[in-house]
């Protein structure tokens, strides 16, 4: 049965996040021939519409309002509910990002919708079925809606493949004005932390270091490898606690959840809380001097050795490929 499906697209610093394009692909699967409408909210967003068309949106709605310049739960909830009032979607898809995690349950309550969160795969053949990891990624469960009511789906970045970009599909955004009032919080200013170029949660290659790197300087060879491969540097909590790097790099149960194509786990033991954040990576390469380190149990490739010898050698070899 076809479903009109809305995608809540997400932009950061004026650029759409990849997960928005993946959400369009997910929405196509859910819509099963129904209309897919991408919604962009912010102060000035309509110029990003053409990319959403290029990745498969049938329509794009720009919700522009000065009060939506920065994300606030209150403001965005009010804006999206007004879009839903007008569009009456049967399904809504958004990224399982910090914004998605914050707003999806609130929208689900307001719409009396079934919520499927952290979805990594969708099947639509007989019945719409959503696959999501449970028990920190040790198992997967499949869920379907118990009734015909609306559904809200958050998708984990880097799992559902976006459609090929079709530059010939372009269009203008339809503008929708919304009334945003009585905000309980107002963002006055956002101070950005200086970080590397590649966003950890969307990186295809991650080079993660643990307590084994021994110091802030010990991360340098990992950064070189990441730069060479166009990837991002991540860390275990052990490395963050030891103040070798910033907590924004922490991967795991209480850090970021990532699913890159290639994950280097270097000088980290592979504690269960770390695995919770990275064990679904497509290919895992572990480098550790202890052959008994638990990380080798989840690794596709393992190198037993001193990271300060192995990583520079590997970088050098890859530079020559
Ligand atoms: P260690 O366990 O000390 O491992 C260091 C590894 O480096 C060892 O395996 C050692 O053999 C290797 N090594 C040392 N020197 C070298 C060398 N020269 N060359 C090669 N290898 C070398 N952890 C997370 O990562 N993310 C989380 O989100 C997280 N959340 C947590 C939540 C809770 C509630 C709790 C209780 C813990 C959490 N932890 C988390 C902490 C987790 O339990 C581990 O303590 C932590 O992951 C260990 O970090 P590590 O692997 O870097 O350090």
Name the residue with the closest Cα to ligand 1, atom 28.
Answer: 252
pLDDT of residue 168: 92
Q: In what order do the strands lie in the sheet with 5-8?
A: 114-119, 151-155, 91-95, 5-8, 36-42, 59-64, 174-175
Is 117 a pocket residue for ligand 1 (Cβ < 6 Å)?
no
Name the residue with the closest Cα to ligand 1, atom 11.
Answer: 290
* Ligand 1 atom having least distance to the Cα of 308: 18
Each residue's pLDDT tens digit, 12-68: 888 999 999 999 999 999 999 999 999 999 999 999 999 999 999 999 999 999 999
pLDDT of residue 196: 61
Instruction: Pick 33 or 191 by higher pLDDT.
Output: 33
Name the residue with the closest Cα to ligand 1, atom 5.
Answer: 268
Residue whose tokens read 């890159």? 260
| Mean predicted lDDT score pLDDT of the chain | 94
Residue whose tokens read 């996040």? 17
Is 210 a pocket residue for ligand 1 (Cβ < 6 Å)?
yes
Query: Does residue 142 register a pLDDT over 90?
Result: yes
Kindly provide the ipTM of the predicted complex, given to two decimals: 0.99
* Ligand 1 atom having least distance to the Cα of 253: 28
Closest CA to 130 of 110, 113, 145, 150: 145
Is 290 a pocket residue for ligand 1 (Cβ < 6 Å)?
yes
Name the residue with the closest Cα to ligand 1, atom 41.
Answer: 237
- Say how many C-beta atoms besides its own lie within 10 A of residue 157's C-beta: 25
Name the residue with the closest Cα to ligand 1, atom 1.
Answer: 269
CA of 242 to the centre of ligand 1 (A): 10
Burial track 30-54 (b if 16+ CB lie within 10 A, e otherwise): bbeebbbbbbbbbeebbebbbbbbb
Each residue's pLDDT tens digit, 267-317: 999 999 999 999 989 999 999 999 999 999 999 999 999 999 999 999 999
Each residue's pLDDT tens digit, 213-271: 999 999 999 999 999 999 999 999 999 999 999 999 999 999 999 999 999 999 999 99
* Ligand 1 atom having least distance to the Cα of 241: 49
Each residue's pLDDT tens digit, 126-140: 899 999 999 878 899
Residue 310 has φ and ψ, to the nearest 5°, of -70, -45
State how far the Cα of 107 lies from the Cα of 8, in Å rounded to an integer. 12
């Amino acid at each position: 049965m076809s479903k009109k499906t809305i995608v809540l697209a997400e932009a950061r610093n004026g650029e759409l996040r990849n997960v928005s394009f993946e959400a369009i692909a997910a929405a196509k699967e859910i819509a099963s021939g129904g209309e897919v409408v991408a919604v962009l909210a912010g102060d000035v967003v309509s110029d990003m519409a053409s990319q959403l068309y290029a990745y498969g949106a049938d329509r794009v709605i720009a919700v522009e309002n000065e009060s939506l310049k920065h994300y606030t739960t209150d403001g965005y909830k009010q804006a999206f509910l007004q879009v839903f009032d007008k569009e009456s979607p049967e399904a809504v898809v958004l990224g399982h990002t910090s914004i998605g995690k914050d707003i999806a349950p609130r929208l689900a309550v307001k719409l009396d919708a079934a919520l499927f969160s952290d979805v990594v795969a969708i099947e639509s053949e007989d019945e719409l079925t959503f696959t999501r990891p449970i028990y920190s990624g040790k198992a997967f469960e499949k869920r379907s809606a118990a009734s015909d009511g609306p559904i809200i789906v958050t998708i984990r970045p880097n799992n559902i493949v976006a459609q090929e970009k079709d530059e010939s599909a372009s269009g203008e955004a339809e503008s929708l004005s919304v009334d945003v009032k009585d905000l309980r919080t107002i963002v006055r200013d956002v101070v950005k932390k200086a970080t590397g170029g590649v966003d950890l949660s969307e990186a295809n290659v991650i080079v993660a270091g643990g307590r084994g790197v021994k110091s802030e300087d010990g991360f340098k060879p990992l950064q070189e490898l990441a730069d060479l491969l166009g990837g991002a540097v991540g860390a275990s909590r052990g490395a963050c606690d030891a103040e070798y790097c910033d907590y924004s790099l922490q991967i795991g149960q209480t850090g970021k959840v990532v699913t890159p194509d290639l994950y280097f786990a270097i000088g980290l033991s592979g504690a269960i809380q770390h695995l919770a954040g990275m064990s679904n990576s497509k290919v895992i390469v572990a480098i550790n001097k202890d052959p008994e380190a638990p990380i080798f149990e989840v690794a596709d490739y393992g190198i037993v050795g001193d990271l300060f010898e192995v990583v520079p050698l590997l970088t050098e070899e890859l530079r020559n490929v």
